[in-house]
Amino acid sequence: MKKNKLTRRQFMATVTAGAGTLLLGNVISAVPSGIKPKSVDPFQKITLGKTGIKTTLLGMGTGYNGGNRSSNITRAGVAESVIRQAYEKGIRFFDCADSYGTHPFTSSALRGIPRDNYTLGTKMWVTPGGIPEPERPDAQVVVDRFRKELNTDYLDLVQLHCMTTGAWTDQQKRFMDGLENLKAKQVIRAHGVSVHSFDALQVAAENPWVDVIHVRINPFGESMDQRDPALVVPVIEKFHKAGKGVIAMKLIGGGRLRNDSEKIDASLKYVLGLGTVDMIIIGFEQPEQIDNYIGRIRSVTL
């Protein structure tokens, strides 16, 4: 099947609708005369929507090519060391999931560090596949296991993982109610969802239960819920206006852009320039990548 690609006209429309300042080619900010462009600090403190959760703008994703309780960093045997390096460099948000198998490595990497010095987000797999067991226990059972695996009394964020249909709020009500009860008991601080379809994304934007959303966004339409980013940007704006925390993922197109330095820089500038994203996560696999992206983000001016 032929793969749709953005035309120059579509890409420029997306840029205008999104950041409003990005120019194709040199990728520079058009700022009014006399106003100095503002550089981006990857370690600036942000707040995820109305949750009260404060963390760094840049977070680490632990599930690149993740599934069935493994990911690239667990298979390579570097999960603990890369997570520890990320913390030592200044990253304070760690994005885990049951399907990534990174809970025990995250716990080991952060051992000895005061719990309030970092933010833990993780995700429940509630649909068929994804994890070895066919059973899908209630949220209380699953989150208790997560807390043991992560060696923590509480979790900052627990999300339903990889929703793909517009009916997910009806289909997963049992788990949504369970997470709501856990939030009331202060076992978790916030709940939400990560989505992998445009229908699921739109439903999440309208649902008050969602505290925090993972959204797939980059200016090239790679690994996104819509090939045309101009369709996704207004939905992200809805999340932001509703006070929901917005975490941007797939900035590197699920790895498809990893060898194109210009596109990586363009994507970082585009997403950071939207003004509706609270934080971004990158799936580091090697310590040197952490320094690389810290430098790239610091070179972005808005």
Return phi, psi of residue 250, to 5°. Answer: 60, 30
pLDDT digits (tens, 9 = 90+) for 179-228: 999 999 999 999 999 999 999 999 999 999 999 999 999 999 999 999 99
Cα 142 → chain centroid = 21
Q: DSSP label at 144?
A: H
Task: Provide DSSP, 80-111.
Answer: HHHHHHHHHHT--EEE--GGGT-HHHHHHHTT
Angle between helices 261-272 and 287-298 (to 10 degrees): 60
Give residue limits of the domains in the chain.
8-28+38-298
Q: Tell me the pLDDT of the chain averaged across its residues.
A: 91
Of 26-35, 240-249, 274-283, give the lowest mean pLDDT range. Answer: 26-35
pLDDT at 158 over 80: yes
Give CA separation, 278 vs 120, 137, 199, in Å: 16, 31, 22
Per the CB < 8 A criterion, the answer to whether 37 and 29 are in contact is yes
**pLDDT tier for residue 90 given thresholds of 50, 70 and 90:** very high
pLDDT digits (tens, 9 = 90+) for 13-67: 444 444 433 433 223 334 445 566 789 999 999 999 999 999 999 999 999 889 9
Percent of the chain with pLDDT over 70: 88
Report the CATH fold assignment for 8-28+38-298.
TIM Barrel (3.20.20)
Closest CA to 280 of 23, 28, 95: 95
Dihedral (CA of 286, 291, 294, 295) sign = negative
pLDDT digits (tens, 9 = 90+) for 59-89: 999 998 899 999 999 999 999 999 999 999 9
Q: DSSP label at 2?
A: P
Tokens of 22: 């990005």
> What average pLDDT does this structure show over 125-139?
97
The DSSP bridge pattern shows strands 212-216 and 245-249 to be parallel
pLDDT at 230 over 50: yes
**pLDDT tier for residue 9 given thresholds of 50, 70 and 90:** very low
User: Alpha-carbon distance 161 to 249, whole Å?
Assistant: 13
